[in-house]
Chains A and B, each alone.
Chain A
Amino acid sequence: MRLRQLFLVSAAAFSLAGAVQAENVLKWGANRDIGSLDPYSYGDSFTINVLNHVYEGLVRYNKDLKIEPALAESWEILDDKITWRFHLRHGVTFHNGNPFTAADVVASLTRVSDDTSPLKGNLPAYVSSKAVDDYTVDITLNGTYPLLLNDLTNIHIFDKEWMVEHDALMPTDIGAGTEGYATYHANGTGPFIVESRQPDAKTVFVANPNWWDEPQHNLDRIELTPVNSAATRVAALLSGEISFTNDAPVQDLPRLAAAPNVEVLEGVDLRTVLIGFPFRETLTNGEPNPFVKKSVREALYKAIDLDLIQQKVMRGKSRIAGATVAPPIPGYVDALDTVPGFDPEASKVLLAQAGVPEGLEFEFNCLSDGLVNEEQFCQAIASMWSRIGLAPKLDVAPRAVQSPKRTNGKTDVYTLGWATLPLLDSYSPLLQIFHSKDGNAGVFNWGGWSYPELDKLIDAAGSELDLDARLALQTKALEMVKDEMIMIPLHQQPMAWAVTQDVEQMPLFPDAKPRLWFARMASGS
């Protein structure tokens, strides 16, 4: 309630101010709302992405998605190899005016790594942190670990005094059933300040005049409005009610591109679409599992006409992938990016040699709310597989329904999209998908495979501090993944944003995250 009153007062103030001076207001129509103003209480990358405009990490990604200093100016690894020392930026203040110090970093790391935080997994190697002085923090890890900076890009720093004052030192514990102050209020150091929020209706951000960095944007306000229905979003863009959307529906792109006041920004996402196989002894129907044999996986790979899917299902906008990671991801090399080619006759021979019975039935698990055109490409692939004499049973349902089946091994073949977020490094899929299941490793190893040699490579990479040596290990591991055909890579999916002519500059990022501190509006709009 208080927020809304605040909103009314400020709305009135702004309408007065608006009469005097034109403002650059970016109206952002997203396909969904953020969960809350607390980035640590729900593991949702869109919420973290939006709140990154308000909160910042010790380091951040620049325009080329390379890591650069943010709230920390420099860092070094101490002699014990497991402690990282960060030297913090001086003169940074939170939106409420409090100075940014080492105590804030320690309190924030403690908050995000608390047992009740759903984001705990984002700092897998974290053990403890302590303030050396006001502007120096030591972070201790559980071993040598090269990717701490990548992890820290998404760990937002809160103000300790503010959290103490409002009893928000711990993340909101949903199990306990009590609300938290940070759900409704935000106080970061970032380029934008939350002015008001009405859940599912509008969240308003205003530019932070005291931001420590030189702003590259020229925005005065951002109005984030969720518009869930794709048709309404397109209509709102055409009528100019929103000036930017980070989800322009693929089927409406020609229409949007034809409109005089709209510009479509298209690119290829980092997300690689993969098909995974079960490695258990039996299929879900109790029959013996032929997919443990590499030749059977190869047969299924060769039966997929990747070009046809790219041209027809993805309307020529996807990029056919041979590697499990996209080209910009460290660890990728061109040699990985080859495909075996469409050859259904060879597939039939391979299946016969492997003794796979004609009409083998298996579950093929896809999401209805997952990847771009997922339902369609799953249907296409299922029919390609039935042409080589298999009988895939397509099972399409929303993520919330399919996830339990996938994690509990209650399905056979499945799809998976992996963008390597938030690390933006090939270590991410290697550790989380291809490593054997073991604590933090292999959480997405739904097929249940285990290649001890591959694990060794990944573990070695995970403790190698030298970048080149580490990437060489990862590339080797990716080669092994490819040779064994553990999963079939299909394509990197297309992404499309759209802006109206009011927006002069909107850099498109392949990780699909809008970073509006780089956006510029045409002046006088």
Chain B
Amino acid sequence: MIAFLLKRTANAAFVMLAVALLAFVIFRFFGDPVEMMVNEQATQADRMELRERLGLNDSFVTQYTRFVSNAAQGNFGISYRNQQDVMVLIKERFPATFELVLVATVISLVVGIPAGVITAVYRESRLANMLQLGSIVGVSLPSFVVGILLILAFSVSLGWLPAFGRGETMDIGWWSTGLLTPSGRAALVLPAISLSTFQVTLVMRLVRAEMLETLRADYVKFARARGVPARRVHWRHALRNCLMPVITLTGMQIGNLIAFALVTETVFQWPGMGMLFIQAVTFVDIPVMAAYLMIVSFIFVALNTCVDITYAWVDPRLRDDTARAGGRNG
């Protein structure tokens, strides 16, 4: 088991290094930060000097090594545009993104699971057909379109909910939360719905498929034969056995949601990490882009590694496989 753990951790570290390398390769195509930093009257000599001071003239290998060794100590430098410590910037934005993702996940479960059960149990009913149709819309509409439609309906026409921003926030230690104020909660509704549309349909379809499978199982038939009420059979016995993959999927999808929240954040001007990243791209703010990519990939790698380790712990066969064949790659 210890060998397995070491191996997984080494794998994770390798993935992180590779992400950093890729990031640095990509940055070369983002353009020149110095052109964005100086004012119009700066001379060519001023520009060259600034480039030199930022270390942009160093070779690729030197820049990469410097970044990795600094990052390993948790030092990502300061933002070109905001002149703020990058870790502080990200730490300030993380709660906003995390709360958005959390609420979107809750919505996806609360809506997706019952919808999945209904479409599986009452396959031919009108409600099930409508839900199925809705799920196709949910899968195919890009989330920024959903966002704009929601704004149009609930902010412009009805005037119920704010179109942008996070409302008032309260601080709990370094964590700023919008969940404790009325305006914060109101501001959260539209972005969370917009972010969760895809997730809702994903959960619903997964639950439906699993339910269809489970409803054919012997124990369901026995339960029915024994005269257990249909409701109890469906919602307790069958559903429970469907939830394992749903939980795994939800856990893994959190990484995805954090990464894809940037579209929703842009539409709703949500002051989260995605917004920060988009701004950084516009201004070629390399320290912020690098740190964001590292942190998001760290979340991905950490989630996957945890899942792998849990699987291995639950099922020793996986562990043996790993020892022999190198294991599955998250």
Interface residues of A (CB under 8 A from B): 1, 4-5, 8, 11, 32-33, 35-36, 38, 41-45, 115-116, 118-122, 124, 172-175, 177-180, 183-184, 198-202, 225-229, 231-232, 235-236, 238-241, 369, 398-404, 407, 421, 432, 437, 439-440, 443-444
Judging by beta carbons under 8 Å apart, are B279 and A232 in contact?
A: no
**In the complex, A178 Cα to B269 Cα: how many Å?**
28
Q: Once bound together, how far apart are the Cα atoms of A517 and B276, in whole Å? A: 30
8 Å CB interface, B15-44 against A: 29-33, 35-44
Chain B residues whose CB sits within 8 angstroms of the CB of A45 once the complex forms? 39-40
In the complex, the chain B residue whose C-beta lies closest to that of A200 is: B271
Quick check: A225 and B165 within 8 Å, CB to CB?
yes
B49 at the interface (CB under 8 A from A): yes
Is B322 interfacial (CB 8 A cutoff)? no
B39 and A229 within 8 A (CB): no
Give 20 A-B pairs besides A199-B82, A400-B284 with Cβ atoms closer than 8 angstroms: A4-B176, A32-B279, A42-B81, A45-B40, A118-B39, A121-B42, A175-B55, A179-B78, A200-B275, A227-B164, A229-B267, A231-B151, A235-B164, A236-B164, A238-B156, A239-B159, A240-B159, A241-B164, A400-B36, A407-B35
B81 vs chain A, min Cβ distance (A): 5
- Interface of chain B residues 132 through 163 with chain A (CB within 8 A): 148, 151-152, 155-156, 159, 162-163
Residues in B94-118 with C-beta less than 8 Å from chain A: none
Give the docked Cα–Cα distance between A225 and B43 (Å).
33
Main DSSP-derived SS at the A contact region: loop
Contacts of B162 in A (CB 8 A): 241
* Given the contacts A11-B168, A401-B31, A183 and B82 also touching, CB distance less than 8 Å: yes
Chain B residues near A122 (CB-CB < 8 A): 39, 41
Question: Complex Cα distance A11/B45, Å?
Answer: 47
Interchain residue pairs with CB less than 8 A apart (24): A35-B82, A36-B82, A118-B46, A119-B39, A122-B41, A173-B53, A174-B53, A174-B83, A177-B78, A179-B83, A183-B82, A199-B82, A200-B269, A200-B279, A228-B266, A236-B164, A239-B155, A241-B164, A400-B30, A400-B31, A400-B284, A404-B35, A407-B35, A443-B40
Given contacts A115-B49, A124-B41, A404-B35, contact A42 B80 (CB under 8 A): yes
Question: Nearest 6 pairs between A and B by C-beta?
Answer: A400-B31, A43-B39, A175-B53, A121-B41, A403-B35, A121-B42
A41 lies within 8 A of B164 (CB): no
Q: Which residue of B lies closest to A15 (CB)?
A: B168
A22 CB to nearest chain B CB (Å): 19
Partner of B174, one of A1, A200, A401, A402: A1
Q: Is B283 an interface residue, CB under 8 A from the partner? A: yes
Q: Does A236 lie within 8 Å of B155, measured CB to CB? A: yes
A229→B44 contact, CB < 8 A: no
Given contacts A1-B171, A124-B41, A228-B278, contact A241 B155 (CB under 8 A): yes
Which residues from chain A contact B62 at a C-beta distance below 8 Å?
A: none
Residues of chain A within 8 A (CB-CB) of B53 are 116, 173-175
B65 touches A (CB below 8 Å) = no
Q: At the interface, yes or no: B84 with Cβ under 8 Å from chain A?
A: yes
Q: Which of these, A119, A179, A239, contacts B156 with CB under 8 Å?
A: A239
Report whether A403 and B31 are in contact in the complex, using a CB–CB cutoff of 8 Å: yes
Check B30–A401 contact: CB distance below 8 A: yes
Closest chain B residue to A116 by CB distance?
B53
A126 to chain B minimum Cβ distance, whole angstroms, is 12
**B166 contacts which chain A residues (CB < 8 A)?**
201
Given A235-B156, A439-B43, do A399 and B36 touch, yes or no (CB 8 Å)? yes
B143 CB to closest chain A CB, in angstroms? 13
A369 CA / B163 CA spacing, docked (Å): 24
Pick from A44, A199, A202 the residue with the most CB of B within 10 Å.
A199
Q: Is B127 an interface residue (CB 8 A)?
A: no
Q: How far is the CB of B99 from chain A (nearest CB, A)?
A: 14
B282 contacts the other chain (CB 8 A): yes
**Nearest CB in chain A to that of B155: its residue:** A239
By the criterion CB–CB under 8 Å, are A403 and B151 in contact?
no
Whether B42 pairs with A120 at a CB distance below 8 angstroms is yes
Which residues of A have CB within 8 Å of B40?
43, 45, 121, 421, 432, 443-444
Is B67 at the interface (CB under 8 A from chain A)?
A: no
Measured CA separation A32–B36 after assembly (Å): 14
Report the separation of the CA atoms of residues A119 and B30 in the bound assembly, to the nearest whole angstrom: 23
Q: Is B295 located at the chain interface by the 8 A CB criterion?
A: no
Instruction: Report A-chain residues with C-beta under 8 Å of the C-beta of B31.
Output: 398-404
By beta carbon, the residue of chain B nearest A172 is: B83
Known contacts: A35-B83, A398-B282. The answer to whether A5 contacts B41 by CB under 8 A is no
- Most B CB contacts (10 A, CB to CB) among A178, A235, A439 go to A235
Which of A115, A120, A421, A437 has the most C-beta atoms of chain B within 10 angstroms of its own C-beta? A120
Chain A residue numbers with a CB within 8 Å of B44 are 407, 437, 443
CB-CB under 8 A from A404, the residues of chain B are 31-32, 35
Point out the residues of chain B lying under 8 angstroms from A202, CB to CB: 165
Cβ A8 vs Cβ B170 within 8 A: yes
Minimum CB–CB distance from A36 to chain B (whole Å) comes to 5
- The CA-CA distance from A278 to B68 in the complex, in Å, is 41
Chain B residues within an 8 Å CB radius of A240: 159
Kindly provide the distance from the CB of B89 to the nearest chain A CB, expressed in whole angstroms: 7
Q: Are A174 and B163 in contact (CB under 8 A)?
A: no
Within the complex, the shortest CB–CB distance from B210 to chain A, in Å, comes to: 38
CB-based nearest B residue for A175: B53
